[in-house]
Amino acid sequence: MDKLKGLTTETEKCARCGTCRSTCPTFRVLGREGASARGKLSLIRAYLGGEVSGKGVYARHIKECALCGACKDSCPNGVDTVGVFAAARSELAAREGLPFAASFIMKSLLEPGRLMPAALKFASRLQGLLLKDSSVESGLLPRFSLPVVGDSRLLPPLAKVFFLDMPEVRALPETNGKDASIKQINVAFYAGCGVNYLMPETGLFSIRALKRAGASVTVPASQICCGMPAYSMGDVATARGMALKNLEVFERGGFDFIVTSCATCGYALKTMFKKLLGDDAALKDRVAAFSSKVRDLSEMLVNELRYKVFKGEVSGKGSGKKITVTYHDPCHLNRAQGIRREPREMLANAPGVEFKEMKFPCACCGLGGGLSTTNYELSIEIARRKAQSVKDSGADVLATACPGCIVQLRDAMHRYGVDVKVVHVVDLL
């Protein structure tokens, strides 16, 4: 509990006005006070005051949160709800430990030993035994009920060749690869687990778009998971180890920018790394310099590389019938990084695309905060509203900017019978 004491002042900033309840996706589904930010803040205060135990109801409500930030955005008193809830999770995880499966994945697979690629290569060979093709969307369905997964969840297929192992990627230089004879912006691409293991083609499209816009692109092979899954589950020590390893890998390259096409990874690299490493005086300046170079792909293309200037160079995709595309704002891009205009600008300029806004584009898809792992029914119920918005928009394609959201939205479209393709924005360029 000592780890939480410093948060008392933050929780006391809450005036109990209830504004946050109108924007909270977990409250919308569950309708319980404890599912809202106001309820959670009250519970945390009660726990700190010794009025409730840190188990049972308290623990359930601390975990029932997508960490989407909608409450923080809407709070007139500026309460750092997400910071408080993340700290409460960390304290809870330290007391209770993580579930066995989550702990095994965090400590044995995702930590800097890089066992993950070998384990997933093995799993990619096995997936045909457990999963079958789905005719509805690009995904796989379990052949029979599986632990954690159940029997109806649409799962993303593991890539046959992971992004970091692709010949095109391996052929790129390891460190600063720019041609010294011409003035070029030197970009390091951070793939993240979603692009690396599930959507390598999105990584290739990202690199191609960056190169077409004039950047020199490098992909450091030793990069690892950003640590956000561990952080969301409350395993701060593991997340810190990952942040440090990535900092060392990217510092070696002498890059102008570090670019990612994953909203969650971008948030981790820009903000979470500073929280995890910034307290250490020896690391503070280093991590600040690192984070200042991080850009989301859309930010990099639109703001730094002036993407529109190469629109005319993309040929052969502009003729014929246009497809209608709508856009889902990932919480980690929209709220956490303030990026809304840039992906829409990319879509509006993409050849053959007619952009159409849907209702509630900023509503959370239900993936965040580890909910899709720890409370799948709640997670997919949150996504129901998004599926309805997409259907009502009449779009042929749903684009977004986060591989995690793509996985969740493909599952949601399948579950709620909405016949649209779900892709990354860069896949449409």
Task: Summarize as ranges the residues that interact with ligand SF4 (CB under 6 A).
Answer: 14-20, 23-26, 36-38, 40-41, 65-71, 74-75, 77, 79, 81-82
Are the CB atoms for 273 and 243 separated by under 8 Å?
Answer: yes
- Nearer to ligand SF4 by Cβ, of 14 and 210: the residue is 14
Rounded distance, CA 417 to CA 394, Å?
A: 13
Sign, CA dihedral 140-370-100-196, equals positive
Query: What's at 53, amino acid-wise?
Result: S
Shorter beta-carbon distance to ligand SF4: residue 23 or 334 = 23
CB of 386 to ligand SF4, least distance (A): 14
Q: Which is nearer to ligand SF4, 65 or 305 (CB)?
A: 65
Q: How far is the CB of 45 from ligand SF4 (least distance, A)?
A: 11
Task: Please say whether the beta carbons of 413 and 398 come within 8 A.
Answer: yes
Q: Contact, 205 vs 249, CB < 8 A?
A: no
Nearer to ligand SF4, 77 or 175 (CB): 77
Q: Cβ atoms within 10 A of the Cβ of 292, count?
A: 12
**Closest distance of CB 294 from ligand SF4, Å:** 23
**Complex with ligand SF4: residue 15 or 123, whichever CB lies closer:** 15
Smallest distance, ligand SF4 to C-beta of residue 73, A:
8
Helices (H), 156-232: 167-170, 192-193, 200-212, 228-232
In the bound state with ligand SF4, the residue whose beta carbon lies nearer, of 69 and 343, is 69
**Least distance to ligand SF4 from the beta carbon of 27, Å?**
6
Tokens of 136: 């509805």
Q: How far apart are CA 348 and CA 314, in angstroms?
A: 14
DSSP, res 165: G
The residue (of 70 and 244) whose beta carbon lies closer to ligand SF4 is 70
Minimum CB distance to ligand SF4, residue 334 (Å):
13
What torsion do the CA atoms of 193, 196, 201, 204 make, to the nearest 10 degrees? 110
Nearest Cα neighbor of 212 from 282, 310, 297, 288 is 310
The distance of closest approach from Cβ of residue 41 to ligand SF4 in the complex, given in angstroms and rounded to an integer, is 6
- Tokens describing residue 223: 């990069």
Minimal distance, residue 272 CB to ligand SF4, in Å: 15
Closest CA to 230 of 109, 333, 343, 117: 109
Closer CB to ligand SF4, 65 or 365, in the complex: 65
Q: φ and ψ at 142, to 5 degrees? A: -65, 140
- Nearest distance in Å: CB 82, ligand SF4: 6
The residue among 19 and 303 lying less far from ligand SF4, judged by its C-beta, is 19
Return the SS3 of 323: strand
CB-based contacts of 36: which residues, under 8 Å, 6+ apart?
18, 20, 21, 24, 26, 27, 71
